Amino acid sequence: RGDWSEDCWGLCTRSKEPDLSLSFLVSGACRAIQKLTRVRVVDNSALGNAPYHRPPKCIHVYNKTGVGKVGDKILLAIKGEKKKALIVGHKMPGPHMTPRFDSNNVVLIEDNGNPLGTRIKTPIPYILRRREGEFSKVLAIARNFV
Amino acid sequence: MAAACGKVLLRAALPARWFSSSMCRMNRDGEPTKFQPPPKPVIIDKQKQREERRFLSPEFIPPRGRTDPLKFYMERKDMIQRRKVFNIPEFYVGSILAVTTADPYADGKTNRFVGICIQRGGRGLGATFVLRNVIEDQGVEICYELYSPRIQEITVLKLEKRLDDNLTYLRDALPEYSTFDMNMKPVSHLDHEEIPVNKLQVRMKPQPWSKRWERPKYNIKGIKFELPEKKMKEAQKWKQPWLEFDMLREYDTSK
């Protein structure tokens, strides 16, 4: 189940009974990002912050395994469009000394690696600096690091 | 001579009352009160108190099992060796800590994180503790290994205990209970004082939660449940009152 705080996607609010149209399986088993995971876009891009009646969902993970961890690229379905994104944090506990976030965070990205937004307020793990070459532009717009 | 006789006479005349100090002490009614000895001075030996209250870190207690105690002995030796070089302070679940680690990818190669300790796990050299903080409306938790050589400094900003051993329910509580300032000043704590217990009752976000904290299995005392009576009664259905009388079960008999 997603965070209650970001549940202002159109009709779905916690105070009402669960919306029967959302009849997919809400299992919490694999907490890293895989197909059909609802994610939270953390940059200030127009596409990421525009309200829509469906949350942005992952439809493909560019990985040998279908499970995306921090630093993996995924394909997102937002507002009826397909967009690539970079995972910057997930709810699944990772290796020790790495941060674990309370929501699955993602930054929208173009095919060549350029981020769509201009600022990232949420903290980004330092681990991403390992692949400075690929993510230099994303790291450049990040404000806080953890 | 006369003076001496006089003194003897005086002594003979008032034998008992000469030696008793109730001569000076009279009741309100004018009757003599019984002699009350002065109260005994209570000596508080701070050193002894401190020794009696020595803190044993939970990772030193080996788990129950059939492993050779030699393994725990060797681990303990290594842990003590590490503690001689690097100071690991006393802290409990609920204390606020600041940890600086060495990070090759961070600015200045060090990474400082401030948070509340929500759980302490593991035994021996693999002992861990999880710090939680909310930064820019994003909840972040980091699991640190106590004996990792990457840790450069652990400072206890506020030493206190909470009503529970495990504060994982803070994930489902309102974010204000997990927010701590990164530049918090350390709150001083005197050596001989008792560890303060923070009896804070935390308010939760609306349900569903990550775990059903109202159930008796978690035995949480630090949440202010604002659930309807029906739900609280339904949660009590999972109570296992026979557990404390189960004789084959192993439990802590030290208390």
**Is 90 exceeded by the pLDDT of residue A23?**
no
A99 with B138: Cβ contact below 8 A: no
> pLDDT tens, A81-120?
999 999 999 999 999 999 999 999 999 999 999 999 999 9
Mean pLDDT for chain B overall: 86
Numbers of helices and strands, H then E, in chain B: 5, 7
One-letter amino acid at B205 equals: K
- Strand A40-41, strand A105-109: pairing: parallel
Q: A96 vs chain B: nearest CA distance in angstroms? A: 5
B140 with A101: Cβ contact below 8 A: yes
> pLDDT tens, B195-249?
999 999 999 999 899 999 999 999 999 999 999 999 999 999 999 999 888 888 8
Chain B environment of A128 (Cβ under 8 Å): 105
State phi, psi for A22 to the nearest 5 degrees.
Answer: -85, 75
Q: Hey, which residues does B131 pair with through a beta bridge?
A: B117, B142
Residue A15: C-alpha distances to residues A6, A19, B205, B207, B208 (Å)? 13, 11, 12, 10, 11
Chain A environment of B141 (Cβ under 8 Å): 99-102
Q: B217 vs chain A: nearest CA distance in angstroms? A: 20
Rg of chain A over all Cα atoms, to the nearest angstrom = 15
Span B180-189, average pLDDT: 93
Question: What's the token pair of residue B49?
Answer: 């108190």
Q: Report d(CA B110, CA A97) in Å as an integer.
A: 12
Contact (Cβ atoms closer than 8 angstroms) between residue A75 and residue A82: yes
A93 touches chain B (CB under 8 A): yes
A122 touches chain B (CB under 8 A): yes
In the three-class reduction of DSSP (H, G, I as helix; E, B as strand; rest coil), residue B70 is classed as: helix
Look at residue A12 in the predicted model and tell me its pLDDT. 40
Q: Report d(CA A83, CA A105) in Å as an integer.
A: 15
Chain B environment of A130 (Cβ under 8 Å): 105
Q: Pick the residue of B103, B109, B114, B143 with the most A CBs within 10 A to test the interface with A by mutation.
A: B143
Question: How many residues are present in chain B?
Answer: 255
In the three-class reduction of DSSP (H, G, I as helix; E, B as strand; rest coil), residue B103 is classed as: coil
Chain A: residue nearest B150 by CA?
A97
Q: Report d(CA A101, CA A124) in Å as an integer.
A: 10
Count CB pairs under 8 A between chains A and B.
69
> pLDDT tens, B87-105?
999 999 999 999 999 999 9
A27 touches chain B (CB under 8 A): no
Q: Report d(CA B91, CA B162) in Å as an integer.
A: 12
Residue B209: C-alpha distances to residues A3, A19, A81, B173, B206 (Å)? 10, 18, 32, 9, 8
Residue A89: C-alpha distances to residues A120, A122, B45 (Å)? 13, 10, 52
Interface ipTM > 0.85: no
A131 touches chain B (CB under 8 A): no
Rg of chain B over all Cα atoms, to the nearest angstrom = 30
When pLDDT is cut at 50, 70 and 90, the band that residue A30 belongs to is: low
A96 with B208: Cβ contact below 8 A: no
